[in-house]
Amino acid sequence: MTLLQWLKLKSGLDNGSAKYSYGDDPVLGFTSNRKHSERWVNSTCGYCSVGCGMQLGVRDGKVVTVRGNPDHPVNLGKLCPKGLAEHYAIDAEGRAKYPLLRKDGQLTRIGWNEAIDTLVKRFRKVQEKYGPESLGIISTGQLVTEEFYALGKLVQLGFGTSNYDGNTTLCMAAAVAGYKRSFGSDGPPGAYEDLEKADVILLIGANVAENHPILCARLEANATRTLIVADPRVTKTAMMADIYLPLKPRSDLALINAILRVVMDEDLYDKEYVERHTTGFAELRASVERYTLEYASEITGLSTDLIHEIALLYGNAKTAFIGWTMGVNHSTKGTETVNAINNLALVTGNIGRTGASPFSITGQCNAMGTREAGFSSGLPGYRKFESEKDREELAGLWNLPFDRIPTKRGLAYPDIIEAAVSKKIRALWIIGTNPLVSFPNIDVLKHGLANLDLLVVQDGFHPTPTTELADLLLPAAIWGEKEGTYTNSERRVSKVNAAVSPPGEARSDFDIFLAVAEKLGCREELFAGWTSPVDAFDEWRRVTAGRLCDYSGITYAALEEHGGIQWPFPDSVSTTPEVARRLYSDGQFQTEDGRARLLPTQWAPFPEQPHPEFPLILNTGRTVEHWHTRTKTGGISILQRMSPRAWLEMNSVDARKLGLRAHDRVDVISARGRVKEVELRVTEIVAPGQIFLPFHFVESNANQITQSAFDPISREPNYKQCAVRVEKSSPVHT
């Protein structure tokens, strides 16, 4: 507020009428004058992977309101609290506006020429001195697909390093690896419509009511389904369940294997499907022998009768759907658990049919886009590094020599950080992510970053804990300020549009990548004729033609018309975009023999068991009001007021034992560190022996105490199930 505004307010000359007056708007009806718009721009929500269609109301060059797009097939006009307040992020404080370079220890404003020149020259210098693989790049799930595609080419073919990964490895890598192992390719097979059509829906470690709220409308639309929710915590989703399974932390794999055993023993599996479309049944059958109801009951804490009942429900369902999110993925056993879910779906033939799918609900708005565009765990268009045919195809499409196409993936995100610790990675480019809050066991990350010769951070916000450490900061446009496409969890591609210009001198990530390519001297070779995202999209359509993720029939114009189209959508398609599309309906999988693989999996205790010094099991997660590390939502006052700080959930049994009461301030301590002064909530939402801490808040950063334990297959962190103790905060520790 300016001094003049303050004086007017205090003197009564300004009674707030401009702010609080109401009037008729042709679209919104009688509403606050502040929301009246001159024009509306269709776009897609930039938070979660549900992919809700939105309309941004613009007046005087500002986005003054948003509303759900009533015609968008995903949400039919609905939005959750985050979506409804998303436009406030555009004008929030703390937007990055100018390139900054650290000079004499201070981040100092510079021009774009100097910024791009510095990035290219210093990355090249590091690569010349330490080798091409000494450069690492960590990106995000927040860019548009066109940007992911451009970045992958720039990094792997321009800079010549394969050490490129995204923060999606911190949330979705287990699902990706699990799908690839079972089906020969990544890609969630189902559609949201399945939630409305399934007889039985089993949600495992998926709190959709909090994290993907608009999907709850699909659950509610299905009046005849039996909703089973398996979660150690009585989440809002658990409260919606017909049957709630309060299983012990990380026991889901044993539960699924026990269900599989019952389904097989009681002849509830689809023999014809197994015979025609899978391999490995005998090995799978042998592997689940040990998962008797008694053994599973011991591991899960659920009664044998309940496990048996669930198995019969699932086995007898005409259509059964299994959805999961971080409760499954965030684990050293994440990939195996995904494979167990896929096994169960396959042996019962619950895949490729309406209402039937093993369905990973993804996290970020365009986590799917980064998975498709690849160059991290796969080549673009779900191609395989190890396939000569795939590499030949890409070399032909790009008119590049065959030997320029990489033959294996580089380091995954956690291994890039480990390589920074051991000084093999010497320069890092972090794009659209805030690892100083989101990476597990944060001290390891700090150590790695301190070793670097150069840290470049590209972000829409500054300062963040990560941009504050940057040697070079590149200010980027965010949602609402740039164009492209997102793919949601059901493989629906939707259009993202710019409603306003980015602040200051911020540029779209796409423009930044092209400028870097120009300076690097590879723009003509890799991005000939590209000036805007549609050029990348047109090439992307050609690159995906004939692939599982076929975009060749999708155009920007069609996306604008239909609000979103699910891939595969080849340009010869005879069906209409409105029809829900599923993968593997023909029983043909992306493996060499066209059959899905049934893979034996084995439960094991989680890596850090509680013990007398650290007797409680910490679970971490989210709240509906905030997004990841709050770079976007932390500056939105309505969301901040709803959820201003972290809290710790503890069962009354443990609170009594520790002499703690609701609202006490407590410290949470693990072998790695201490989270200080968190407000205690005494609640039956968590079981005795378990506690819950949201991970959004840098002031109470859960990742000060999480562990460096990773899934050996996918490299996804085991964020959940750390051994901790809780103490009442004291001045000594504050």
Binding residues for ligand SF4, rule: CB under 6 A, are 45, 47-48, 50-52, 75, 79-80, 82-83, 212-214
Task: Show the beta-strand stretches assigned E in 17-176.
Answer: 22-25, 29-32, 39-44, 53-59, 62-68, 100-103, 106-109, 135-139, 164-166
Answer whether 396's CB lies under 8 Å from 542's CB. Answer: no
DSSP string, 71-107: T-TTTTT---HHHHTGGGGTT-TTB--S-EEEETTEE
Answer whether 437's CB lies under 8 Å from 423's CB. Answer: no
As measured in angstroms, the least distance from the Cβ of 486 to ligand SF4 is 9
Measure the CA–CA gap between 238 and 245, rounded to whole angstroms. 8
Nearer to ligand SF4, 212 or 495 (CB): 212
Residue whose CB is nearest to ligand SF4 in the complex, by number: 83
Q: Dihedrals φ, ψ of 284, to 5°?
A: -65, -45
Measure the CA–CA gap between 711 and 583, rounded to whole angstroms. 26
Nearer to ligand SF4, 184 or 213 (CB): 213
Nearer to ligand SF4, 54 or 347 (CB): 54
DSSP string, 506-557: -B-HHHHHHHHHHHHT-HHHHSTT--SHHHHHHHHHHHHTTSTT--TT--HH
As measured in angstroms, the least distance from the Cβ of 231 to ligand SF4 is 19
CA distances from 54 to 70, 203, 219, 489, 628 (A): 8, 27, 21, 17, 21
As measured in angstroms, the least distance from the Cβ of 79 to ligand SF4 is 4
Which amino acid appears at position 521 of this protein?
G
Nearer to ligand SF4, 181 or 212 (CB): 212
As measured in angstroms, the least distance from the Cβ of 50 to ligand SF4 is 4
Question: CA quadruple 125, 444, 469, 435: dihedral positive or negative?
Answer: positive
DSSP string, 305-323: HHHHHHHHHHHH-SSEEEE
Nearer to ligand SF4, 213 or 621 (CB): 213
As measured in angstroms, the least distance from the Cβ of 323 to ligand SF4 is 14
Tokens of 655: 């609170």
Measure the CA–CA gap between 334 and 709, rounded to whole angstroms. 12
Nearer to ligand SF4, 47 or 530 (CB): 47
As measured in angstroms, the least distance from the Cβ of 721 to ligand SF4 is 26
Nearer to ligand SF4, 51 or 440 (CB): 51
As measured in angstroms, the least distance from the Cβ of 532 to ligand SF4 is 25
Nearer to ligand SF4, 333 or 628 (CB): 628
Contacts of 596 (CB under 8 A, 6+ apart): 182, 183, 184, 277, 278, 279, 342, 346, 351, 584, 589
As measured in angstroms, the least distance from the Cβ of 487 to ligand SF4 is 13
Measure the CA–CA gap between 370 and 244, rounded to whole angstroms. 34
Nearer to ligand SF4, 213 or 502 (CB): 213
Contacts of 23 (CB under 8 A, 6+ apart): 30, 31, 33, 36
Which amino acid appears at position 550 of this protein?
D
For residue 725, the SS3 value is strand
Q: Among 55, 51, 9, 53, which Cα is nearest to 35's?
A: 55
Nearer to ligand SF4, 394 or 639 (CB): 639
Q: Number of C-alpha atoms within 13 angstroms, CB side, residue 584? A: 33
As measured in angstroms, the least distance from the Cβ of 74 to ligand SF4 is 8
For residue 291, the SS3 value is coil
Contacts of 94 (CB under 8 A, 6+ apart): 461, 462, 463, 464, 631, 635
Nearer to ligand SF4, 52 or 120 (CB): 52
As measured in angstroms, the least distance from the Cβ of 208 to ligand SF4 is 9
As measured in angstroms, the least distance from the Cβ of 376 to ligand SF4 is 24
Tokens of 533: 């995202």
CA distances from 422 to 430, 444, 450, 630, 673 (A): 18, 11, 11, 30, 22
As measured in angstroms, the least distance from the Cβ of 319 to ligand SF4 is 24
As measured in angstroms, the least distance from the Cβ of 626 to ligand SF4 is 11
Nearer to ligand SF4, 45 or 520 (CB): 45
As measured in angstroms, the least distance from the Cβ of 631 to ligand SF4 is 15
Q: Dihedrals φ, ψ of 485, to 5°?
A: -135, 150
Nearer to ligand SF4, 209 or 675 (CB): 209
Nearer to ligand SF4, 52 or 516 (CB): 52
